Amino acid sequence: MTSDVPGWERAPYLRELDTSVVACGGGAGTAWAILADTVLYPEGGGQPCDRGWIDDTPVAAVRRTPDGIVHELASPVTCGPVKVRVDWERRFDHMQQHTAQHLLTALAQDRFGWPTTAFHLGERVSDIELNAPALGAAQLRELEEAAAAEIRAARPVRAYRIRPEEAAALPIRTRGLPAGHRGDVRLVEIAGLDLNTCGGTHVASTCEIESVALLGAEPMRGGTRLYFVAGGRVRRMLHDQADALAGLRTVLGAPDQELAAVAQSKLDALRSAERLARRLQDEAADALGEALAAGGEPLAHRHHHDKDLTFLQRAARRFAELAPAGVVLLTADSAMGSVFCLAAGQAAPVDVGALARAFTDVVGGRCGGAGRLFQGKIPSLDRRGAGIEAVRRALSPPSPR
């Protein structure tokens, strides 16, 4: 143990430490501090940084800099004696996930010949990238069983430093060190199973991993990405999934093993009901167009509640087919707002766009369209009657005296 070894490294179970702020700066949102010693792990090696408190000031992030370990703070602190505390729940979770990664990496290499090329400790789920072809369900179960056996074996896990020249004689799995690394090499050993270089925090025995669940694998950059959860996360995920299943059982009224089939049959029934609803809607739109065309008025108009623009357009097209000289103005409102559609038969001597603009000039909103059919959204139906009158006037301009 040397004085330049930070608290989180020499004693990963240390939750708080009396120390002092030796440098600080910044204001609200940019405050920072460097401590004489710290129990907060800075980000590195796939493991996210710790969070915690300097006295009562929350530490939002911790990172390594050439000047030392910088604590990013919610508000400024002053130099002098302080107590630094780690958010232990978050840290112990990270120790479980990280040690599980060491275990999986060792087993994947030794039992299956799959080297680990990357590790990512996620918020919910973590993953390792294996230089291995696609893994099947049977291989995942085999690896998971092997991990469970090593957890039950309660193998001691310890971290220590050696001189670089001592490393050559040791069976170290990965010799990769950060660029520019100088001085001692930190090793993490799972007794009888693994010896690896690592700067992170780990549990003291594989039994503290509790359990590892392999969630699935997917192809990734020529290898395979393997997703896992360990420790308390296994129970939390199980509880979340049990709650989700309970919700589905209530909604679908079926036991777990029938949920997928029941959901599928309800979706099939829904799709068929939607097809029927569309057909009935189309028939109603056609019937509306036909009824208005049969009326024979020079400007047919109608308002519909709870109908959309698609309905109006279909009704207007049907009208224009059956009444070549007629003009139709339809409006509708629904939870989506109010809309209108204006159309004319091929033989009607009118500029449909100009008629639509005559309508929106009075009721507001904008219109668009082409040829014999224009439509648009309107802000309200309050001036609908006046808008219809404006279209009627545009259709029959006063004769010159």
> Applying CB under 5 A, which residues contact Zn ion?
188, 198, 200
Q: C-beta of 227: minimal distance to Zn ion in Å?
A: 18
User: How far is the C-alpha of 104 from the C-alpha of 112, rounded, in Å?
Assistant: 11
- DSSP-assigned letters across all residues of 212-260: EEEEEEEEETTEEEEEEEETHHHHHHHHHHHHHHHHHHHHHTS-GGGHH
Which residue sits closest to Zn ion, CB atoms considered?
198
Q: How far is CA 370 from CA 14, 23, 221, 300, 332, in A?
A: 74, 70, 50, 20, 20
CB of 197 or CB of 360, closer to Zn ion: 197
Q: C-beta of 45: minimal distance to Zn ion in Å?
A: 6
CB of 226 or CB of 293, closer to Zn ion: 226
**Three-class DSSP category at 129:** strand
Q: C-beta of 199: minimal distance to Zn ion in Å?
A: 7
User: How far is the C-alpha of 189 from the C-alpha of 205, rounded, in Å?
Assistant: 10
Tokens of 345: 């038969």
Give yes or no for a contact between 121 and 97, defined as CB atoms under 8 angstroms apart.
yes
CA atoms within 13 A on the CB side of 194: 29
CB of 161 or CB of 302, closer to Zn ion: 161
User: How far is the C-alpha of 96 from the C-alpha of 232, rounded, in Å?
Assistant: 8
Q: C-beta of 202: minimal distance to Zn ion in Å?
A: 6
Q: C-beta of 115: minimal distance to Zn ion in Å?
A: 16
Q: How far is CA 11 from CA 1, 5, 29, 103, 306, in A?
A: 10, 10, 30, 21, 68
Q: How many CB atoms lie within 10 A of CB 297?
A: 12
User: How far is the C-alpha of 355 from the C-alpha of 362, rounded, in Å?
Assistant: 11
Q: C-beta of 67: minimal distance to Zn ion in Å?
A: 25
CB of 175 or CB of 275, closer to Zn ion: 175
Q: C-beta of 28: minimal distance to Zn ion in Å?
A: 35
CB of 198 or CB of 285, closer to Zn ion: 198
CB of 82 or CB of 108, closer to Zn ion: 108
CB of 198 or CB of 344, closer to Zn ion: 198
Q: Is 222 exposed, middle or buried (0-12, 13-18, 19+ CB in 10 A)?
A: exposed
